[in-house]
């Protein structure tokens, strides 16, 4: 059965994907999706607080047109079925809101993800072409080792079951990369000078509750200088770690991996963070239901909180009050204008 399918080059497919989508969406959009969501918040009815159309529904089906080099393939159209997309859905929703709500951020993100990707991502979201949005992320940002794909009932199936930080956070290139130098006091240390670069921000819960809020304390510890025993084999020196800094300056937004935190350690979630001499404000969060192994997301627009869950028929709902962030997978903060 595999011979019936055309195995195409991802880069070429991506160009075809974009051109096909632009040809398929001919209507003139008077408003972006973000503007429609904002308008629905301002005109909401207390009896019906859901957005009027589905946004980024779970899964998806995309039909790709085979290129000229695959003219002998049968069929000429290949159906791609997407499964377990909640590992990217919540983050894609928050990413869209961040880019539409902050005028300069698309240009900043384009430095890391490419201008074409950012422009087409926004275009596809505003066109309600959600299956293509997900395919765009899978083909352009993800490594083939990060997902499973197989042929099932005459269709290519892509299964994104797994961890959202593997499928999304780690694929933001070097946007959140940080660097920390260390120097051992022992001149005979086999690796006296070291440079540690991390691409994500993983913060650990404190062993004891600190005086100030635990999340700010954990972030401070992640960035602060420290002195520890050197772990190199046969070395008994002390290793002095410098202040951790962002490799490319403060990013437009940061994602804090909260998977190691328990609900009782999250009695307080700060709306503002001091991070590398900059002020960051809470934009959203992703939530993880362990029983169903399912991710959802919450984000705010103009101070109003919304909850997104791709499995619901009404998957975007305006909340009466800020969500209880007890099943956290991540917190997303955007850089404020003031330091």
Residues 28-76 pLDDT 10s: 567 899 999 998 888 776 656 677 788 999 999 998 765 555 445 555 5
Q: CA-CA distance, 84 to 63, in Å (whole number)? A: 18
pLDDT for residue 162 is more than 50: yes
Pairing mode, strands 201-202 and 226-229: unpaired
Q: What is the pTM of this model?
A: 0.88
Q: CA-CA distance, 71 to 65, in Å (whole number)? A: 10
Residue 115 pLDDT level (bands cut at 50, 70, 90): very high
- Which residues share a beta bridge with 286? 297, 330
pLDDT for residue 3 is more than 60: no
Sign of CA dihedral 33, 93, 201, 191: negative
Q: CA-CA distance, 158 to 150, in Å (whole number)? A: 7
Q: Given the structure tokens 């951020």, which residue do they identify?
A: 105
- DSSP annotation of 61 reads E
């Amino acid at each position: 059965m595999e011979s019936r399918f055309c195995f195409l080059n991802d880069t070429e497919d991506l160009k075809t994907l974009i051109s096909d989508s632009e040809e398929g969406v001919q209507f003139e959009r008077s408003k972006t999706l973000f503007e429609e969501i904002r308008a629905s918040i301002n005109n909401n009815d207390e009896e019906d607080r859901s957005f009027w159309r589905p946004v980024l529904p779970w899964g998806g089906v995309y039909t790709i047109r085979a290129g000229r080099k695959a003219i002998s393939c049968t069929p000429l159209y290949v159906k791609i079925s997407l499964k377990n997309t909640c590992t990217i859905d919540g983050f894609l929703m928050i990413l869209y809101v961040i880019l539409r709500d902050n005028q300069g951020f698309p240009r900043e993100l384009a430095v890391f993800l490419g201008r074409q990707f950012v422009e087409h991502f926004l275009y596809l979201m505003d066109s309600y072409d959600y299956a293509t949005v997900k395919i765009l992320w899978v083909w352009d940002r993800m490594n083939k080792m990060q997902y499973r794909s197989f042929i099932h009932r005459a269709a290519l199936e892509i299964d994104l079951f797994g961890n959202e930080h593997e499928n999304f956070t780690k694929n933001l290139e070097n946007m959140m990369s940080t660097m920390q130098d260390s120097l051992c006091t022992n001149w005979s240390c086999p690796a006296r000078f070291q440079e540690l670069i991390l691409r994500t921000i993983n913060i650990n819960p404190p062993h004891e509750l600190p005086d100030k809020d635990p999340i700010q304390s954990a972030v401070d510890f992640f960035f602060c200088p420290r002195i520890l025993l050197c772990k190199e084999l046969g070395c008994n020196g002390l290793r002095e770690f410098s202040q951790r800094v962002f490799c490319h300056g403060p990013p437009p937004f940061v994602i804090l991996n909260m998977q190691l935190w328990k609900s009782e350690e999250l009695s307080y979630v700060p709306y503002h963070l001091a991070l590398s001499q900059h002020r960051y404000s809470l934009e959203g969060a992703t939530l993880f239901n362990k029983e169903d192994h399912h991710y959802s997301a919450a984000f705010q627009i103009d101070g109003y909180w919304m909850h997104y869950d791709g499995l619901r028929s009404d998957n975007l709902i305006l909340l009466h009050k800020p969500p209880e962030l007890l099943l956290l997978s991540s917190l997303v903060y955007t850089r404020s204008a003031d330091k």
